[in-house]
């Protein structure tokens, strides 16, 4: 039986960040992963660390804190993770969207964020590949980008250097609490711990069930196309304003397939200039098989905004599962019903952006410190039905 002070379940970017901040604070940590580290959603996504698409107020302030922490990590961690902070933009294709964008910018500026409107000429300067009819857009100057896979491994390596222990191919199959000690049964033997953190992403509800907890997270599938290195299309992340509408479930004026699959343009230039094109949003269970009809739909949407992309080459496509919650905020929280059990999951499309702040907050909760952001909006007890009644 292997004992540790803190046991983290799940080796995605959230679990790796928690292991990093806890071991940096001197805690003895074990992190266990059912498959290979970073084989879940954290390697099937984009790498944007964004405030531009966050609800003004708590949501965007939390992202700003995380952006600052990632900037610090880019100097602290041994391995680089393709960090850049060039800002990001949203583009508008109608007067209606320009009006909505102006309101979005005003609200963000009032909350103290570095947002500004862009006109047609600014958009032309941004990339010669944009469609001529785009009206303008908006910019968030602090937004940054990383390679999520490398950031997760970099955090994990640093945690191990500080004494953390990591077990791969170790699937949690049952959890019991005997007085103050958790006993965690896995495919690789039993582990005991004083504190347990559930960082299992879309699988967090299954871990919750083992302790009779009902955790309201659902997998929301998204597809991405990877292009080959070719012309320099642009240096920073671009989304269509409709992405916000798609994310928050509003009504868009698009063709039925684009609507059905929740497709909205996301363009992400990577350091190696293999740009990524996304994305879709659907609730179709845990299947990550690529649907070619959706890939076509994403490609068509990209060509609407960048007509010359029709002649560019793509290498591959993939799909991942965003851990969705109803109010679009993650659960980063103690569990009142089970002392010393924590949940850090449900980051939907923001888990890369919020990994650093999540790791820090869990460290602060376990060490009973004041937290770097208010935690009430992230509390598990905001959901009424938390305990399975059978
Ligand atoms: C198409 C797409 C694009 C995205 N783009 C962005 C973006 O640009 N910016 C952003 O911030 N976010 C983005 N996201 C969201 C982001 O990828 C996720 O929020 C984040 O990766 C979630 O990380 P996680 O560590 O919670 O989950 P995961 O990476 O899935 O990690 C959970 C881990 O737990 C393990 N596990 C599960 N059950 C068990 C068990 N029983 N025992 C042991 N281990 C277990 C799993 O194997 C897995 O490795 C995107 C997501 C998608 C799908």
pLDDT digits (tens, 9 = 90+) for 198-242: 999 999 999 999 999 999 999 999 999 999 988 888 889 999 998
* 11 Cα–ligand 1 center, Å: 9
Measured from the CA of 48, which atom of ligand 1 is nearest? 8
* Cα distance between residue 321 and residue 348, in whole Å: 8
User: Over 70: is that where the pLDDT of 293 sits?
Assistant: yes
pLDDT value for 270: 92
201 lines ligand 1 (CB under 6 A): yes
Instruction: Say if residue 387's pLDDT is above 80.
Output: no
333 vs 94, higher pLDDT: 333
Tokens of 141: 């100057």
Query: Hey, CA dihedral for 315, 324, 327, 294, is it positive or negative?
Result: positive
Q: What is the pLDDT of residue 246?
A: 67
Q: Supply the mean pLDDT for the chain.
A: 94
Is the pLDDT assigned to residue 268 strictly greater than 80?
Answer: yes
What integer is the mean pLDDT of 266-293? 95
For the residues 119-146, what does the mean pLDDT come to?
A: 94
Atom from ligand 1 closest to the CA of residue 152: 25
Residue 390 has pLDDT above 60, yes or no: no
Among 191-195, 234-238, 260-264, which range has the highest average pLDDT?
191-195
Kindly give the number of the ligand 1 atom that is closest to the alpha carbon of 346: 26
Report pLDDT for 112.
Answer: 86
**If you average pLDDT over residues 98-118, what whole number do you get?**
91
Answer whether residue 262 shows pLDDT above 80: yes
What is the rounded average pLDDT of the residues 243-252? 72
| Distance from the alpha carbon of residue 97 to the mean position of ligand 1, in angstroms | 31
45 contacts 389 by C-beta, under 8 angstroms:
no
CA 15–ligand 1 middle distance (angstroms): 10
- Spacing, Cα 41 to ligand 1 middle (Å): 3
pLDDT at 118 over 80: yes
> What percent of the chain clears pLDDT 70, i.e. is strictly above it?
98
Q: Is 9 in the pocket of ligand 1 (CB under 6 A)?
A: yes
Q: Is the peptide bond before 272 cis (omega within 30 degrees of 0)?
A: no
User: What are phi and psi for residue 331, nearest 5 degrees?
Assistant: -105, 115
Q: Bridge-partner residues for 213, per DSSP?
A: 387
């Amino acid at each position: 039986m292997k004992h540790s002070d803190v046991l983290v379940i799940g080796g995605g970017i959230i679990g790796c960040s928690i292991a990093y901040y806890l071991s940096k604070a001197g805690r003895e940590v074990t992190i266990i992963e059912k498959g290979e580290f970073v084989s879940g959603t954290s390697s099937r996504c984009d790498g944007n660390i964004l405030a531009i698409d966050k609800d003004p107020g708590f949501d965007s302030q939390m992202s700003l804190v995380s952006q600052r922490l990632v900037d610090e990590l880019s100097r602290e961690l041994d391995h680089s993770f393709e960090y850049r902070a060039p800002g990001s933009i949203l583009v508008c294709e109608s007067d209606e969207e320009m009006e909505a964008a102006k309101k979005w910018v005003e609200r963000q500026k009032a909350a103290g964020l570095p947002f500004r409107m862009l006109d047609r000429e600014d958009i032309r300067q941004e990339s010669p590949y944009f469609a001529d009819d785009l009206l303008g857009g908006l910019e968030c100057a602090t937004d940054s980008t990383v390679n999520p896979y490398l950031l997760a491994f970099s955090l994990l390596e640093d945690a191990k250097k500080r004494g953390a222990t990591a077990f791969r191919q170790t699937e949690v199959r049952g959890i019991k609490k005997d007085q103050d000690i958790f006993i965690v049964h896995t495919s690789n033997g039993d582990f005991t711990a004083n504190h347990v953190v559930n960082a299992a992403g879309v699988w967090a509800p299954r871990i919750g069930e083992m302790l009779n907890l009902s955790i309201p997270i659902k997998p929301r599938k998204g597809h991405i196309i990877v292009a080959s290195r070719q012309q320099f299309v642009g240096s920073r992340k671009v989304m269509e304003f409709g992405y916000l509408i798609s994310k928050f479930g509003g009504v868009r004026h698009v063709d039925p397939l684009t609507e059905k699959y929740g497709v909205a343009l996301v363009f992400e230039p990577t350091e190696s200039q293999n740009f990524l094109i996304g994305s879709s949003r659907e609730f179709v269970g845990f299947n990550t098989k690529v649907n070619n009809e959706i890939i076509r739909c994403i490609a068509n949407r990209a060509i609407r905004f960048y007509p010359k992309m029709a002649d560019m080459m793509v290498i591959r496509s993939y799909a991942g599962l965003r851990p969705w919650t109803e109010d679009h905020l993650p659960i980063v929280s103690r569990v009142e019903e089970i002392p010393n059990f924590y949940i850090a999951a449900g980051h939907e499309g923001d888990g890369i952006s919020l990994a650093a702040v999540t790791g820090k907050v869990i460290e602060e909760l376990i060490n009973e410190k004041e937290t770097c952001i208010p935690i009430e909006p992230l509390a598990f007890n905001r959901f009424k039905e938390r305990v399975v009644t059978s």
